[in-house]
Amino acid sequence: MNHSPGDPPAAYIHFMQMKAMDSKKSIRDLGETIHSLLGFKSPINSAWVKSVCQIIKSLPNEDGDAAEEFSKIKGNIRVFCRVRPLTLAESIGGLGFGFGAVVALDTSNLLLELGNNKSKRYTFDKVFQGSSQDGVFSEVEPVIKSVLDGYNACIFAYGQTGTGKTFTMEGTLESPGIVPRTIETLFKQTEDSNHTFLITFSMLEIYLGKLRDLLVPQATRSTDPLPPCLSIQTDPNGGIRIENLVSIQVSDFNQALKLYRFGCQLRSTASTNSNTTSSRSHCMIRISITCFDAPERRRETNKIWLVDLGGSERVVKTKAWGRRLDEGRAINLSLSALGDVIHALQRSKCHIPYRNSKLTRVLKDSLGDDSKTLMLVHVSPKEEDLCETICSLNFASRAKNVRLGHEESNEVKNQREAAMQNLQQKIKEIEDERQHIRGKLQISNRKLEVTRKRLPLEDQVEPSDLSTELVPPSELEFTKSIKGNVRSEMPSFMRSTICSRTKTGMERQTSLDSRRKRRPTSQRAESVSFPVKNNSECNSDYSISRSTCAVEFNKKTGVELDNATVYSQDILECDIKTVILPDRNMSQMTSNHRNMEKRGSIKSNKCNSTKVSKVDQWFTLHKDEPTISGPAPRNKWVLDIPLLENKQRSNGEKMQRNGNKKQKQADLDQKEEDKPTLKDLFAEESSSSLIFPPQSTTDDQKDSLDSSSVDDSQGCCGSLSRPDSCCNGSEIFGNEDELYGTPMVQAVEDTDHSMIEIGGHRFSPFDIDDTFSISQVFGVSVQELGGNEDMDTSPQSSTKERLKSQRALFIDDLKQKDHGMAFMKSQETAKKEGAWLIQESWASALLGLGFLDLGFNQDFFYGLIL
Ligand SMILES: Nc1ncnc2c1ncn2[C@@H]1O[C@H](COP(=O)(O)OP(=O)(O)OP(=O)(O)O)[C@@H](O)[C@H]1O
């Protein structure tokens, strides 16, 4: 039987006939078939076979259709397999018809005869066995055409040494390989095109891990200049360029072919046990194509790599040694790196290890997305090479599964588009909101500016006093705008005072600095005073008043406040005096008081001491004199929180003061951070202390005071102390927990409705909840009212008990210290009139302010009185 070289032999026809018969066999034999195909050592059980049968039955199409369907979704790496024909010697050696262990079943399936009736089947895009160079190139040609469309492409021949890679790529003069054919095709197509192309040719090899330009003759003599070193660079677009690689423009096929032949001559080849003309390097041909007037092309300049890889080899088999051994190792290493890259691409890993070898680095932009890659895997037909063949085929199978283009499912696409629309909508909303706020800020700024201009000079707060030193202009403007905006929208009672204003971190820092450098010209806490009707046995009207603390820094005279004064300015809110005055004097006092504030004539360094001194004088000597301003009536009580400043001054320990200053400043800052709520305010007030007439101070007491640690939160001393030793005429009885004070309260008319002003802050009566109004106003903590097991849980009872016990402690203490009958008389009077009149006044005040609405009638409040 005569066979032309291209015709399939009779054995192959017989094999195909057997295959067709096999396909008609009962699927009962499927398990055995698969077992033999895959070479599994363990038998496949019947359940597994059943499930496979089900899968096969449920397949909608024939195998061909399925393969076609599969080919549609495959990635950009196409894999062709070429089986080298047996040489004459190999045929004579007993392989019969020229078909050995590797048999191409059809144009895409390959069968490996593993022996013992076992075989393994591989599927590739194309399988060539006994095919001519023409036949191979016809399948390769589409890739070449895509290069003219602007795609990067890479065609590389892979396989065991001596399997025909160089034959496929380079070919012979009679049967040229892919490289010359590609060049020829490219020029042919460019000539047919309407566009003008610029084609350049480069050729290099990677030998022993180094790049060598194959278009540059190697130095053969010591006097010859060394060729420039080639280095791989990544351009800004992610493309790979090789510095110093010669790139020669070629205008026709012959020019390019000449260069190619020249480069091939410079290639490193050597004779090995496997191949007499074995390539000992990776040979890489680069053809770059540039077209300036073809916008339809994917990119202006693109390239195709034609790579004849070095053959993988088993050193044991080739018995290579010395340089051949090094070459073999270097080739295997780079092929291994190429395998890793393909593996990573196949798994769609985030990191592709291109940098592990020069080979993969050079091919980086031709192996990834948006490039056409064709792998030609070459295998030997010999049974003795079966192991290497299986390795090569497995490698090729992995490459075949690589999907370079990340095709998204419709669902994922929809989700992505929905998310993008969402984000765009949000961006638009945020932008709108920003514009809106910006407009409001501008309006507020204008209002602020107008308001500032209207204010009298002395009341204007200089911008420098707003602690703007360290705030950048933009931030300052924003901060001011925000404040202005907030203030304009806030009810008056929620507005922060200069002391309670919450500050930002930056603002706080600058505030601290400016506090040291510049003081506000004046800080005041409004005096509060309102008449209440006395319903008890005392028939006079009483008022509750809180004195004003005015602090002034005279910039003109340059009078500096000392540290203690400066510090005291910061705690003015705690500096509370409560005065009970007969109603007849109240109006006078109030007006005087206001006059005094208007004048602003109280010097800051005198303010507190003068104030306290007047209280002392009034209390001990001039009972008819005004307490703070205006004449003071008889039978009046002064309750005050001792000033820390005075205590510090009387102690005369500047060092201690300075030492504590940091902590105090920190406490104060903390206080400023917390925007005062009504509860906070009352809590603060309730920890105030009573101010009583000056008493003589013993040395022991002074010593005890000096040695006592000071807690700012406890007012002046936090413990029993003499007024003249620590508070300039003020005396504290009991500690913070034992004492209660009456917060400064004033009924005021706001723009819309009646308000209650407490500690300089305005609240609506409706802002005060039941428990709070009772407990805090009367000096009993909410906790005590709520859940102390030792106390009567009723608010009334606990309040009364507390008042009683505190009063008793107070009287006992006075008696023990023999503080004089005059004072005792006053105290007695206070017991009967003063203190509970305070409570009564409070009750009346609260009733008058509408606290009855909260569910407490008048009897309830009277029940709180001693
Ligand atoms: N398809 C083929 N038809 C005819 N001869 C072939 C074919 N493939 C390979 N040969 C021959 O086999 C021998 C080895 O081929 P080749 O040198 O191309 O192998 P190789 O894979 O490049 O080896 P190496 O990796 O060592 O360079 C050559 O003599 C070549 O002519």
Residue 591, CA atoms < 13 Å, CB-side half-sphere: 5
Most confident of the following: 4-8, 430-434, 466-470, 586-590 = 430-434
Banded pLDDT at 843 (limits 50, 70, 90): low
Does 160 appear as a known binding residue?
yes
List residues bridging with 578 in a β-sheet: 546, 639
- SS3 (DSSP) at 5: coil
pLDDT grade, residue 747 (50/70/90)?
A: low
Q: Which of 156, 158, 275, 308 to mutate to test the pocket of ligand 1 (most atoms within 8 A of CB)?
A: 275
- 132 confidence band (pLDDT: 50, 70, 90): very high
> Per-residue pLDDT for 622 more than 70?
no
Whether 70 has a pLDDT exceeding 50, the answer reads no
Q: Is 165 annotated as a binding residue?
A: yes
Taking the centre of ligand 1 as the mean of its atom positions, its distance from the CA of residue 72, in whole angstroms, is 33
Q: Is 382 in the pocket of ligand 1 (CB under 6 A)?
A: no
| Residues whose CB is less than 8 angstroms from the CB of residue 7 and which lie 6 or more positions away in sequence, other chains included | none
Pocket perturbation via mutation, ligand 1, pick of 167, 279, 313, 379 by most ligand atoms within 8 A of CB: 167
Nearest-angstrom CA–CA distance, 616 and 725:
13
Q: Determine which residue's CA is closest to atom 31 belonging to ligand 1.
A: 167
pLDDT of residue 169: 93
Instruction: Give the position, in ligand 1's atom list, of the atom nearest the Cα of 159.
Output: 21
Classify domain 74-92+121-218+227-400 by CATH architecture: 3-Layer(aba) Sandwich (3.40)
Average the pLDDT over each of 381-390, 435-444, 705-714 and give the range with the smallest value.
705-714
Name the residue of 132, 163, 282 to mutate for ligand 1: max ligand atoms within 8 A of Cβ: 163
**From the CB of residue 244, how many other CB atoms can be counted at a distance below 10 Å?**
12
Of these ranges, 105-119, 509-523, 541-555, the one predicted with the greatest mean pLDDT is 105-119
134 CA distance to ligand 1 centroid (A)? 16
The mean-pLDDT minimum among 160-174, 312-326, 517-531, 565-579 falls in 565-579
pLDDT at 109 over 60: yes
Task: Please give the pLDDT value at position 138.
Answer: 93
Question: How far away, in angstroms, is 131 Cα from ligand 1 center?
Answer: 14
Q: Whose CA is nearest to atom 23 of ligand 1?
A: 162
- Protein residue with its CA nearest to atom 10 in ligand 1: 164
Q: Is this complex's ipTM strictly greater than 0.90? A: yes
Res 754: pLDDT: 52
- Please give the residue that has the higher pLDDT: either 530 or 112: 112
DSSP letters for 375-413: EEEEE---GGGHHHHHHHHHHHHHHHT---S-PPPHHHH
DSSP 462-500: PGGGG--TTS-HHHHHHHHHHHHHHHHHS-GGG---TTT
Q: How far is CA 53 from CA 26, 58, 59, in A?
A: 11, 8, 10
The top-scoring range by mean pLDDT among 608-617, 656-665, 803-812 is: 656-665
Span from the CA of 385 to the centroid of ligand 1 (angstroms): 15
For residue range 406-460, what is the model confidence (pLDDT) as tens digits? Answer: 555 566 667 778 888 888 888 989 999 999 999 999 999 998 888 888 876 665 5
Alpha carbon of 327 to ligand 1 centroid (Å): 18
- Report residue 375: phi and psi, to 5°: -110, 130
412: Cβ contacts below 8 Å, ≥ 6 apart: none
Q: Is the CB of 133 under 6 A from ligand 1?
A: no
Instruction: Judge whether residue 292 has pLDDT over 90.
Output: no
Pick the atom of ligand 1 nearest to 274's CA: 26
pLDDT of residue 562: 39
Q: Whose Cα sits closest to atom 20 in ligand 1?
A: 162
Of 524, 601, 521, 525, nearest to 554 (Cα)?
521
SS3 of 182-247:
HHHHHHHHHHHCCCCEEEEEEEEEEECCEEEECCCCCCCCCCCCCCCCCEEEECCCCCEEEECCCC
pLDDT tens-digit readout, 390-413: 999 998 988 887 766 555 556 666
Domain map (residue ranges) of the chain: 74-92+121-218+227-400, 416-498, 520-863
Confidence of residue 289 (pLDDT cuts 50, 70, 90): very high
Q: How buried is residue 538: exposed, middle or buried, by Cβ count under 10 Å (0-12/13-18/19+)?
A: middle
Of the two residues 321 and 133, the one the predictor is more confident about is: 133
164 is in an annotated binding site: yes
Helices (H), 600-643: 604-616
User: How many angstroms is it from 276 CA to the middle of ligand 1?
Assistant: 10
pLDDT score of 634 more than 50 = no
Question: For residues 681 and 573, what is the distance between their CA atoms, to the nearest angstrom?
Answer: 10
- Greatest mean pLDDT among 135-149, 444-458, 656-670 lies in 135-149
Distance 337 CA to ligand 1 centre (A): 24
Q: How far apart are the CA of 382 and the centre of ligand 1, in A?
A: 14
* Probe residue for ligand 1, chosen from 81, 166, 168 as the CB with the greatest number of ligand atoms within 8 Å: 166
> Is the CB–ligand 1 distance for residue 611 below 6 Å?
no
Q: Quick check: CB of 163 below 6 Å from ligand 1?
A: yes
What per-residue confidence (pLDDT) applies to 776?
Answer: 43
Q: How far apart are CA 648 and CA 717, in angstroms?
A: 10
CA distances from 343 to 23, 266, 339, 501 (A): 33, 33, 6, 64
- The 10s digit of each residue's pLDDT in 143-152 is 998 888 888 8
How high does pLDDT run on average in the chain?
63
Q: Alpha-carbon distance 711 to 667, whole Å?
A: 10
The pLDDT of residue 150 is 87
Per-residue confidence at 707, pLDDT binned at 50, 70, 90? very low
pLDDT at 767 over 80: no
Measured in Å, residue 212 CA sits from the centre of ligand 1 at 23
* Ligand 1 pocket check for 84: Cβ under 6 Å: yes
Least confident of 86-100, 269-283, 699-713, 841-855: 699-713
Is residue 166 part of an annotated ligand binding site? yes
Confidence check: pLDDT of 807 > 60? no
pLDDT > 80? residue 574: no
Confidence of residue 848 (pLDDT cuts 50, 70, 90): low
DSSP secondary structure code for residue 732 in this structure: B
User: How far, in Å, is the centroid of ligand 1 from the Cα of 165?
Assistant: 6
Cβ of residue 130 lying under 6 Å from some atom of ligand 1: no
Q: Is 309 helix (H, G, I), strand (E, B) or coil?
A: coil
